[in-house]
Every structure is written in C-alpha cells, then in structure tokens.
Amino acid sequence: MLQLKRLSFFKWIYFERSDVDRIIFLSCFFSIGLAITRVLYTGSFLYASLCWNLFLAFVPLLITQGMMQHISWIENKVKFVAAFAVWLLFIPNSFYIITDLFHLRSMEIMPLWFDLALIFSFAWNGLLLGILSVRQMEKMVRLQVPLANDLIFIYPIMWLNAFGIYLGRYLRFNTWDVLSNPFQLAIDIYKMTRHPVHFRFEWSMVFCFSILMTLMYATLKKISKASW
C-alpha cells in the first residue's frame, strides 16, 4: 500500500506535468544531486544553502500555478490583488540565486569546474523558475488590465526584483522581514531614496540588474515562440 502511494506521488510530481515542468524538475534534481555529491565528498555544507534558495525560488511558481488552477483567484479582483501582493514579495527569491555566483572561489578540496557547475546550475534553475512565473503572471495581469506593451508590466517587475536582490544580498533582508522587521526595512529604503547620490552605486546595481533580467526575460520569451 505504501509503495502504491509512493508511485502515485511520483506520478503526480513528474509524469502528470507539462514538458516544461518535467525538464525543470530534472534540472533542479541535477542541481540538488551536485550539492549532495559535494557534501558527501567533502563533508562540508558550504553550498547546501543553495537547496533552500532553490526552494524559495519555487514559491512564486507555485503561487502562479495555483492561481491558474483556481480561476476564482483570477476572476475575483480582491483575491487576485492579494495573491499578486504575496507573489510580488517572493518573486525576487527566484532571481536572487544569480548572485550566489559571488561565492565561487578556488578550493583545493574540490575542483573549480565542479563548484562552477554546481552554483551556475542553481542560478540557471532559479532564473528559469522566475521567468516562467513572471510569464504566467503576465498572462493573468493581461486579463485584468490591457497592456499596450509588454514592458509596461515586465520592466517594473524586474526593477523590483533587482531592488529585492540588493536588499537581500547587501543589506541581508529576506521576504520574512516585511513582517518581522518592517521598520528597519523601511528606514533603510528611505535612506536610499532620500540620498540617491550617496547611494549611486547601489542604485546603479539595481538599474543594471533590472535591464539584464528584462533582456533575459525578453530573449527567452522570443526563443520560446521561435519556429525551428
């Protein structure tokens, strides 16, 4: 009986998915496999936190997929706005993993190529999860508000993602701080907006990453529509 339940679970988690979902699952399992291999070989949990970051990257996609499976959350404007607000808090986690490449360094205990493949695979999967979730949300937003141009929705989202990445990477805030530490978060954001010249390098980072992620999104979106 237990074995049948396990088979049903794996059938639901993998086989009853779209082709895109399946390839993303395989890619994520590959990343996790690399992380486990490194822990077993070195005895170090140095990059184990990437698995948690990958889980957080999944959350926005779970939100958008859940909304698409429950039409009432799209048709009801109050529910839609509530779900959109929660999604907006979590979506930077998907793109945040890009900055984990900062951790790459040469170590005698492990070949550099292995750590490069490990970190890049997590960053790549986070990027894919984020782009797929943004694409799904874009489609739902279009049902609520007609958009004359894709960038009217995409660039503000990518700018907020870039700003969230800065808050997480450099100021060490996370999604939960919106509830657990809102005052300090608000103070730090106020300082940045109050003195933009003093924080010019920080705002430059936000601008640069927002353009980069917008181009990535636009490129993958066009590639998905290309006929070969």
Q: How confident is the model at residue 15 (pLDDT cuts 50, 70, 90)?
A: very low
Q: Could you read off the pLDDT of 155-185 as tens digits, one per residue?
A: 999 999 999 999 999 999 999 999 899 999 9
What 8-state DSSP symbol labels residue 226? -
pLDDT at residue 225 greater than cutoff 80: no
**The pLDDT value given to residue 103:** 87
**The pLDDT value given to residue 12:** 45
Sorted by sequence, the CB contacts under 8 Å of residue 96 that are 6+ apart come out as 53, 56, 57, 126, 164, 165, 168, 169
- DSSP per residue, 8-28: HHHIIIIITS-HHHHHHHHHH
**The pLDDT value given to residue 4:** 45
Q: Could you read off the pLDDT of 56-102 as tens digits, one per residue?
A: 999 999 999 999 998 889 989 999 999 999 999 999 999 999 999 98
Which of 168, 164, 173 minimizes the C-alpha distance to 91?
A: 164
* Rounded CA separation 203/166 (Å): 9
**The pLDDT value given to residue 106:** 74
Q: What percent of the chain lies above the pLDDT cut of 90?
A: 72
Q: Could you read off the pLDDT of 22-67 as tens digits, one per residue?
A: 899 999 999 999 999 999 999 999 899 999 999 999 999 999 999 9
- In SS3 terms, 153-166 reads as HHHHHHHHHHHHHH
